[in-house]
Amino acid sequence: MLWDSRMAVSGQAGICDWIGTGHVRLHHIWRKGADTLVPGATIFAPRDVPHCWANTAATESKMIMACTPGGFEGFFEESAKAMVAKSSPAQMDEVMTKFGCELVGPPLFT
C-alpha cells in the first residue's frame, strides 16, 4: 500500500473520481461500507459526508478527480506544498479548515 488517508469530510465540494491505474479502496459513510475501485471505475463522493482513500495496489495508483463547485483544487495544491515542506499537523489543519475540510476519523489501515 502506497498511501492511506484519514477519514475526512469535505464541506465545500463534491468529488467525482475516475480510476486510471491500480486499485483504490474507498471507505464511505453514505453507502455504509467500502468499495475497491479498479481501472475505469468512477465514483462520486458527496460533500459533507465522511470518506477516506487507500491505495491497495502493490504499485502506484492514479486517479482523476473533478470537484464541484470549482475552487477546491486549491486544497490539493496547498496540501501538496505543505507535505513537501514537512509542515506540522497544525499547519495541515489550517489548510483543511481553509477549504472546509475536517478530519473525523483514522486512516483505513494504519
Q: How far apart are CA 27 and CA 51, in angstroms?
A: 6
Q: Which helix (H) or strand (E) holds 99?
A: none
pTM, entire model? 0.70
What does the pLDDT look like over 59-76, one tens digit per residue?
888 989 888 888 888 988
Helix and strand counts by DSSP (H, E) for the chain = 2, 8
Q: Which CATH architecture fits 6-104? A: Sandwich (2.60)
CB-CB contact of 6 with 103 (8 Å): yes
pLDDT under 50: residue ranges of the chain: 1
In this prediction, residue 23 carries a pLDDT of 87
- Grid coordinates 487507500 are at which residue? 54
In this prediction, residue 98 carries a pLDDT of 92
Q: What is the mean pLDDT of the chain?
A: 83
In this prediction, residue 30 carries a pLDDT of 59
In this prediction, residue 10 carries a pLDDT of 80
Every domain of the chain and the residues it spans: 6-104
